[in-house]
Amino acid sequence: EVQLLESGGGLVQPGESLRLSCAASGFSVSSYAMSWVRQAPGKGLEWLSSLDYSGANTYYAGSVKGRFTISRDNSKNTLSLQMNSLRAEDTAIYYCAKAGTKTTRTPLLYFDFWGQGTLVTVSA
């Protein structure tokens, strides 16, 4: 059974950093593309970043490029998101999502499993 469990969320001040983790089970994170998607309170879904199955290619939304870094640890079967220079507008639930494809750079992309999310609040 595929499961994704995010952790690391919390309350931080503007300008601070936070690292989110996503523990995967039931599959290998090195076999599929993985992504982070967030949802601000009362808002829709926003894709943030992806890592393809090889781990060699990463992609970012313009809103987080240069501030967030996606990575994974194959030995622990985990996905991470390092978030620096956090802003109030980064306040959201952050979801880890498994793609049904090996890369997210494909028109065939879809996300077949999602974690329960972890809440990040950026406030002074």
| Shortest Cβ 43–another protein spacing (Å) | 8
Report the alpha-carbon distance of residue 100 to residue 115 in Å, rounded: 14
Q: In whole angstroms, how close is the CB of 45 to another protein at the nearest point? A: 4
Q: Which residues are bridge partners to 24 per DSSP?
A: 4
Residue list 93-122, contact with another protein (CB under 8 A) = 95, 97, 100, 104-117
Pairing of strands 92-99, 118-122: antiparallel
Task: Give the footprint of another protein on residues 50-79 (CB under 8 A).
Answer: 50, 59, 61
Choose between 26 and 100: whose C-beta lies nearer to another protein: 100
Among 8, 23, 46, 84, binds another protein (CB under 8 A): 46
Q: Is 8 in the site for another protein (CB under 8 A)?
A: no
Looking from the CA of 64 toward its CB, the CA atoms found within 13 Å total 25
Query: What is the Cα–Cα distance from 35 to 58, expressed in whole angstroms?
Result: 10
Q: What is the binding site for another protein (CB under 8 A)? A: 35, 37, 44-47, 50, 59, 61, 95, 97, 100, 104-117
